[in-house]
Structure formats: structure tokens, C-alpha cells
Structure 1
Amino acid sequence: MKESSKLLRPTQYIMSAVNDTKFKFAVFLLTGIPGQENAYLWISVPFFLMYVISIVGNSVILFIIKTDPNLHEPMYIFLSMLAVTDLGLSIATMPTILGVFWFDSREISLDACFAQLFFIHTLQCIESSVLLLMAFDRFIAICNPLRYASILTLPRIAKTGLVFVLRGVALIFPLPFLVKRFRYCRANVLSHSYCLHQDVMKMACADITVNNIYGLSVALLTMGLDSLLIFLSYVLILKTVLSIASSTECLTALNTCVSHLCAVLLFYIPEIGLALIHRFGNSSSHFLQILLGYVYMMVPPLINPIVYSVKSKHLRARIIRAFVK
């Protein structure tokens, strides 16, 4: 079956499955960029460069923060957490993306797909939590600076980070088992070059109501709640900043939030758009789904280390010293 499947087009694959409801797929087919197959080699060049820059950039930030005792502060510890999750997302997604572009390796086994979606969604939840912690850090630093050191102690940061990691793992852990129980006989061509729960569950020839409800509940309890708390923290930050008499002090305080705001917007806007399209946008452009998927998975790990390196004076100086030496 695996050999003969390579001779069929994706549409033939789908039709053969529809005509035989007893057929169960052993693999899913990943999708690159439809209609651009002849240009995959050229398209892969910027993708590969983005992958390398993401790995190197986040690794450099982790190395600099670890080796410089002056950067062992809450803000930089949260930044190192963000770098770790960005590294994880890049490593979890880019190998299959480049495999499609370089080797036309579109097949992925069901178990490998379920494992990939577990890691992707878990890391997404953890990154959302880290962005919330970074918002709390800015809130304390601006609204209650005298108690900053007593509130954000290293043991408290470690415990809070561990709680959020466990939250992400516990909430996402059921997802692979919820999709593994299905028989896949309608279609097996996924919308992206990697596996997502909302994409995989549509391939099942069974009632997916439980998956829909659970997936939506997890999204609301993690990214939905986190984004709401981040928004409220910035409302309070803005209220405090506007009460400052000096415009210079006001701009200085807001300037410390620019990097975090960029990270929040880069993470949540594509994620919200992708989630809405997958759940409610059946008539939306397939190319738009693919584009948002690539932006969501590749741009934050690429841009976050650059933005923080540029905006953080101490981190920028330390990186420059390291490379000059």
C-alpha cells in the first residue's frame, strides 16, 4: 500500500479513501506550497536560513545569559525561558518542512504525527505562559518597583515556571490519545508541513465533537486566559505610566515594554488567525492557511532574539563583547 500510494495524486488518494470506508490510512501526507513544487529548492533557501538564524540566535542568548552573572535577573531568566521554547518549536517543525522542500518527503506516520502535534501544542502553551510571566515582570517593574526584588525572587520564578510547564504538558497530554482512537478514512492530506490537532482531527471518519470541545477549552484556558491577563497588565501599566508627571520618564517606562509587546503580537496574532480559520473558515483560502502557519511557526523564533538583543542594552553589549573577543 505504501509503495502504490506514491503513484497516486493527493486527490486520487482522497477519492480512493472516500470510496472505501473500511480503509484506514497508515500515513498522513504533508503539504508544502501547492502549485510551487518546481520552485521548492529555491523556496527552501530562506526557510533554511531562518531555521539556522533561529537556532543560532536563541542559542547565543541562552549562552550569554548563562555565562554572565550580571544577567541573572528575572527579566533575563524569562527571556531564556522564551529562547528555550522558541528553540523547541523550531526543532519540532522545521525538519518536516525542509524534508518536504528538499526530498519531497511528504509521508509521516500516524504515531510520528501525533508525537509532533503534542510537542508543538505543548511548546505553544508554554510560550504563552512565558509571555504572561514577562508581562507580570514588566507590571511589577513599572507599577511596584520598590517591591520588585522581593516579589520576583529566583525560587519563586523557578516554581512559577515549573507550574506553567506542568500546566502545558497536562492539558496537551490527552490530545494524542484523542486523535489516536479515530479511524482515518476520509482523507490524509494535511494543510501544513507539520501536524496540528485541529488539522488532524478533520481527517477522521468519526464524530469529532469531543476533540472540538476539548481543543477549544484548552485554547481558552491557556492562550485565551494568558492573552486576557497580558492585556489587563498593560492596561494597569498604561494607567500607571500616564500618571507620571514627566514625559521623559513616561517614554522610558514604555520603552522597556516594546520588546515584550513585539513578542506578544508576533505570537498571538497569527495563532488567533490560524485557529479561527481552521475551526470556522472552511471557505477561506488554502494558501492563507499555509502562509499563516509558516508565519506562526517560523517568525517568532526568528525575530524574538533579534528584537531583545537590539532593545536590551546590557544584552546587546554582552553579545558584542563576546563576538569581538
Structure 2
Amino acid sequence: MMSNHTAVSEIVLVGFPGLADAFHGLVSTIMFFAYMISLTTNGTVVFLVTFNENLHQPMYLFIANLATSNLLFDTVTLPKLIARYWFGASTIPLRMCFFQIFLVHYFGSMDSFLLMLMAADRYVAICHPLRYTSIITDKVVTVSCGICWTILSPSINTAVTVLASQIPLCGPNKVNSLFCGYSAFAALACTNISGPRKVVLVLAMVVLLVPLGLILVSYVKIIVAISISARSESLRRAFSTCMTHLLVIAFYFAPRIFMYIVSNIPFVTIKPDVGALLLYLYSFVPHMANPIIHFLRTKEIKQTLRWALQGSKFREKD
């Protein structure tokens, strides 16, 4: 199959199309700080949950998995993007592009599955509080997250990557995107690949719509439970913590579904610079905000973080 790729051995990542050279330093600096923020916030989440036994609770374990996925996604994309504008290193070997396609879609799928699991966790906590500890156990969390990490996401995105590797490239090797993803890479095809495109679209819709459907069902049941419960005031307070989750869910699913559908409609096109900006906003901005929205705003985490900082200060004095 590699004979299809003899004409192209490396890919050029365009990044933000049309961006003037004068802004390359500014853009790379902004992305560098975005990566540092993601690294710090998500790393803090993973560190606190891993090394504090008090946080070994289902909700925090789910959030730690999400933080890990976000951090790894940013690590396989942002450093190369920063180097593209900071040092002019815009090329990437074809095989590494395929590897990035796999990882980008792998961690993107993980976010979708983990948001679904978090919604299920909130549903049980609010609608079946007395049974919560017996239903959502550490073992259930470990098994469900493990299935997503080792079976669901790898199997789906191996198929996506294999389909990408079959795309014949005959000339142009410039990917109008911030990183190697299937849709941007498929635009380089020199023959009709409508069949593989449809397969990838179906896989993408499965990854996006199935979790989204289950999330919506969970939150509809939560709203119904709140509206008919005698403990409506306490449940409303519990649901208020879910509202920020819903915002993250909407910001994750809505633009991805829109972009996947639009990119597969022949007569509809999005300007490359607009597409790149949207891709940046919905891919990286939530990764900086998620730890604050899901984790650092909770009382237990604030207390744990305060103890950790106070402990480090005491050690410095000693």
C-alpha cells in the first residue's frame, strides 16, 4: 500500500492559513502559554488525584482521566504547532503524520467517552443517591475507563488511521490545519475517496452522537428528578454544579459535529483560516478550562491544594 505514497514523503502543516510572518512570534508565544496552562492545570489534577487517597472517589477519578486525555492531546499537537511558528519547522514525516492522526482522534474519542461516563456518574449521584456507592464503585470506574482507553478508542481510531494510510497522494502535501487529522489529510487525495470518507464520518458520528445521546438522556432524567422531588432545593444545588459540565459538553460536541458534517458536504466549504481558528478554539481552550470547571472549583480540591501549598511552604522554611 505504501506505493500510493511514493510521491510524498513528508507533510507540511500550514497552521493558520494566511497568517502574516509578522505575527508568527506572537501566535507561537500565545500557544506556548496555552500549553503551559494546560500542562499546569491538568498536571495538577492528575497529581492531586493520584497522590491523595481522599480524592480516590469515582467523580475525581473520572475527572483525572479526562485531564490525562486533555494533557496528552495537547502534548502531541501543540509542541509541533509552536515549533512551526517559533522555528519555522513546518514539515512532518508522512509516517509521523499518520501517527498523529491516530493520537488526535484517539484522545478526542476519549474525551467523548469520558464526558459520557461523567454524565452517568452525575445521574446516579443525583437520581439514586442512596445506591450511589454500590453502583459507582472504584472497580466500576477502573473497568469502564479501562475499556475506553484500551478497547473502544484504539479500535475505532486504528480503523480511521488505516483508512488515512490508503489515501493516494500525488502532489500537494500541504495540510491546511493545525495538526494532522483525517479530514484535513483527506483533502490531499488525488482520487475519489468518497467511500472511505463516508466510513470515517459514520465512525465519527458513533463516537460523538452515541455518547451525546446518553448524556442528554442522563440530564433529562436529572431535570425530571429535580422537578418532582420533595428535596428540590438540595437537588437544585447539586444540579447547579452540573450546569458548567453541560457548557463543556456543548462546547465539545456542537462544533465537532458541525465541522464533521460540513466537511463532508461537497457544495459547502469553510474558509481555511476560519476552520483553523475554530479548530484551535474548540480543541485547546476547553483543555485549559476543564480542570477549573470540573475540579479546582470544588471544596475538597481547594482544601487539598491549600494543604499541598502550605506543606511546601513549611518544607521551604525548614
**TM-score of the two chains, using structure 2 as the length reference:** 0.90
Q: Which amino acid aligns with 1:97?
A: L
Partner residue of 1:4?
none
Give the C-alpha shift of residue 234 in structure 1.
0.6
- Taking the TM superposition and a 5 Å limit, the aligned residue runs for 1:219-238 are 219-238=204-223
Q: Which moved more, 1:51-60 or 1:311-320?
A: 311-320
Instruction: Provide closer, same or farther for how the CA distance between residues 242 and 31 of structure 1 changes in structure 2, counting only shifts above 3 A.
Output: same
Q: Does 1:121 align with 2:105?
A: yes
Partner residue of 1:176?
161
The 2-side partners of 1:130 and 1:305 are apart by 14
Q: Does 1:40 align with 2:24?
A: yes
Q: Which amino acid aligns with 1:229?
A: L
Gaps of 5+ in 1: 1-20
Give the C-alpha shift of residue 85 in structure 1.
0.3
The 2-side partners of 1:315 and 1:236 are apart by 28
Q: Which moved more, 1:210-219 or 1:57-66?
A: 210-219
Per-residue displacement from partner, 1:133-185 (whole Å, max 9, x unpaired)?
A: 00000000011111101111111221111222211100111222222223212
Partner residue of 2:174?
189
Partner residue of 1:135?
119
Q: CA RMSD in A?
A: 1.9
Q: Which amino acid aligns with 2:201?
A: L
The 2-side partners of 1:118 and 1:311 are apart by 33
Q: Does 1:26 align with 2:9?
A: yes
Q: What's the secondary structure of 2:186's corresponding residue?
A: helix
Partner residue of 2:286?
300
Q: Which residue among 63, 82, 88 is the counterpart of 1:79?
A: 63
Q: Does 1:272 align with 2:257?
A: yes
Q: What's the secondary structure of 1:173's corresponding residue?
A: helix
The 1-side partners of 2:74 and 2:215 are apart by 24
The 1-side partners of 2:273 and 2:107 are apart by 25
The 2-side partners of 1:41 and 1:228 are apart by 42
Give the C-alpha shift of residue 97 in structure 1.
0.9
Q: Is the 8 Å Cα contact of residues 82 and 130 (structure 1) preserved in structure 2? A: yes
Per-residue displacement from partner, 1:265-289 (whole Å, max 9, x unpaired)?
A: 2321332233234223743222210
Instruction: Provide closer, same or farther for how the CA distance between residues 158 and 279 of structure 1 changes in structure 2, counting only shifts above 3 A.
Output: same
Aligned residues: 305
Partner residue of 1:261?
246
Q: Which amino acid aligns with 1:193?
A: L
Partner residue of 1:8?
none
Q: Which amino acid aligns with 1:304?
A: N
Q: Which moved more, 1:217-226 or 1:304-313?
A: 304-313
Q: Is the 8 Å Cα contact of residues 109 and 153 (structure 2) preserved in structure 1? A: yes
Partner residue of 1:149?
133
Give the C-alpha shift of residue 113 in structure 1.
0.5
Q: Which amino acid aligns with 1:293?
A: L
Instruction: Provide closer, same or farther for how the CA distance between residues 260 and 53 of structure 1 changes in structure 2, counting only shifts above 3 A.
Output: same
